[in-house]
Amino acid sequence: MNDLRHRKIELFRQNNQDRARLLISCPDQKGIVAAVSKFLYEHGANIVQSDQYTMDPEGGLFFMRIEFTLPNLLEEEKLEEDFSVIGDRFRMDWHFAYAYDIKKMAIFVSRQDHCLMELLWQWQAGELVADIAVVISNHPDLGPTVEQLGIPFYHIPVTKETKNEAEQKQLKLLEEHEIDVSVLARYMQILSPTFVSSQPERIINIHHSFLPAFVGAKPYERAYERGVKIIGATSHYVTNDLDEGPIIEQDVLRVNHKHNAEDLKRLGRSIERSVLARAVAWHLEDRVITHKNKTVVFF
């Protein structure tokens, strides 16, 4: 591991060695918050943030995210074993996420660099807590930019004829680097069902449109032809349905008749980079719970 990357990871771990998050979804019922809070109190934890949301209060679903600190947090198995009693009682889908267990991230990119550069800048500034283990591209252009930060860069060309072979190489890299989440930072390729199934709800894409409008290719051109007054960007989890996965974050910008298609692209780049960065940060901080094709995002 490069010295810079190694130092950042160690600093992230030192700053988060006693911090963890608990994410819960279950049928809504009385006593959930009390039971969870009592459990953490009895185990010596200090709750630093607690958020909950009920979807359809009349017989609906309950979602909760609690962030807490706890000395000797490395005793993960004991903590999870003890909590399983509560999990069973309330029929919870739950998991603990430990902040010192820094997620390993792969970034996929083509030629456009704005989304990649935003992620790298935030990572350098310590605002994006991740181990950027690898950057993969179907073009060589951004290799020098990535490698000067000590991050491995792999150029894997993709054509219609070599797509399957290229994806197998990519999947091998993800396995070798033990990747937890993949980010498509304007990676201009459609992933196969095999690839998507390898990382369910762990592939984050940025689409240069305010979905569900203008799904697919050339959204800015189609937005211009339609005469839109607002453009936007959408970050979502990737599924086999093109640009229809659970939405994590969106944003918009007002435009007018004076803007042509190139203007929309230029203005849109700013939205794309910030929307993607926020979505990635929220995933890394375990702030997102998916339910069917929706997300609950705790800010």
CB atoms within 10 A of CB 292: 6
The single-letter code of the amino acid at 167 is E
By the 8 A CB rule, do 16 and 103 touch?
no
Distance between CA 147 and CA 170 in Å, rounded? 18
| The pair of three-digit structure tokens given for residue 268, joined into one six-digit string | 């849109």
Distance between CA 221 and CA 37 in Å, rounded? 52
Burial of 151 (0-12, 13-18, 19+ CB in 10 A): buried
Q: Which residues neighbour 185 within 8 Å (Cβ) at sequence distance 6 or greater?
A: 107, 108, 109, 115, 116, 119, 206, 276
243 is catalytic: yes
Give 56-79 as a 3 state SS string: CCCCCEEEEEEEEECCCCCCHHHH
Q: Which of 131, 243, 263, 286 is catalytic?
A: 243
Alpha carbon dihedral 221, 227, 228, 229, in 10-degree steps, equals 130
The catalytic residues are 243
